[in-house]
Amino acid sequence: MTVLRRNCVVVAMSGGVDSSVACLLMKEQGNEVIGISMKTHEENGDGRAKTCCAARDIQDARRICQQLDIPFYPLNLKEEFSQGVIGEFAAEYSRGRTPNPCVLCNDRLKFTALLSKAKQLGAYYLATGHYVQKIRDGNGRYHLHKARDLEKDQSYFLFGLSQAQLEHLLFPIGRCTKAEVRELARTAGLETAEKPESQEICFVSSGHYSDIVESRYPALKGRRGVIVNREGQVLGEHDGIHAFTVGQRRGLKVSGADRLYVTQLIPEQNKVVLGSKEDLMRKGVLVKGTRWINPDLVTSGLEVETKIRYRHPPIRSTLSVLDEGTLRVGFERPDGAIAPGQAAVFYRGEELLGGGWIEEGIDA
């Protein structure tokens, strides 16, 4: 059995400035530091898109580790990523849902496969460049709070973390602003100091995400269907519901007197339903597959702030526990940015409580 060394930290290196500075800070604190990167997919573009985990990013991570004079290990996770992230991404779109691949990647790879590898290397800790703060209370329980830099806060993507995982995780830059991170990198002469941030879906560096879906589900390509209004009147045709998401208003190829939005996708009928912005509004959501940082904090009637998309403003809400893993979330005010398949993430002030997957919008 491998003995874990508490002064040994494996740093997940994405090739960007954030993980580079996380690595720098861990070394400056006197730890034995090892860098590791995930090879997750083959690039399908020209290599210049603002994504992460591409071949050039692994080379950047390697150079940072050379600068800091620490070991570096690339880890081939292409098969796991293909099945657990890209496969689920395509499957969800084929079902008329809107997935969040970054949540899937964190949940199924970064904090499982990488944490396992860290322990194999004898490291007690895995550190990442996420903007989030881990806090331990007087009873030894761990809590996750939003980052100091709220514009960069990434707690939304980490609702699936457990107490057992948090015991072995570090987030060195959670108390830094992005400007401070870049300045630390410049001062240390790190090559990634001015590197642009990753912005797109990492495995969709060119073309449209629907190309990925069609590569997994060829029968969807060119599968024409109808676009209708709420009354069922045909407004036009589409080439596949997998190219649409609830709330979408651009690229509909249908004109009307009023602005139209996708209000519903009906995969079994291959039908896209359009309506007004008011038609999108719902009083709450049904959420399944919920996970909690501290499960003992969750009870029916708990008042929280709910984020139904990463950049969407939080909505004051009340939770009703229906059964294990299923919640009814009632909003203080109706909202229209509800897309089945997206993550609903719950906060109490600055603290991340947990989250789950939106099943549908509700009106009661």
Task: Please report, for the chain, the start and end positions of each structural domain, with discontinuous segments joined by +.
Answer: 5-188, 222-279, 281-362
Q: Does pLDDT of 44 surpass 70?
A: no
CATH 3.40.50.300 assigned to domain 5-188? The reply is no
Find out whether 32 and 7 touch, Cβ atoms under 8 Å.
Answer: yes
With a pLDDT cut of 70, the percent of the chain lying above it is: 95
pTM for the model stands at 0.93
What's the Cα-to-Cα distance from 310 to each of 5, 102, 121, 292, rounded to whole Å?
Answer: 36, 11, 34, 18
Predicted confidence (pLDDT) per residue in 72-127, tens digit: 999 999 999 999 999 999 999 999 999 999 999 999 889 999 999 999 999 999 99
Q: How far apart are CA 74 and CA 79, in angstroms?
A: 14
318-325: average pLDDT: 92
Instruction: Kindly report the CATH number that applies to the domain delimited by 281-362.
Output: 2.40.30.10
> Where residue 63 falls among pLDDT bands split at 50, 70, 90?
very high
Class of domain 222-279: mainly beta
Tell me the catalytic residues: 105, 202
Q: Does pLDDT of 47 surpass 60?
A: no
Predicted confidence (pLDDT) per residue in 157-212, tens digit: 999 999 999 999 999 999 999 999 999 999 999 999 999 987 668 888 777 889 99
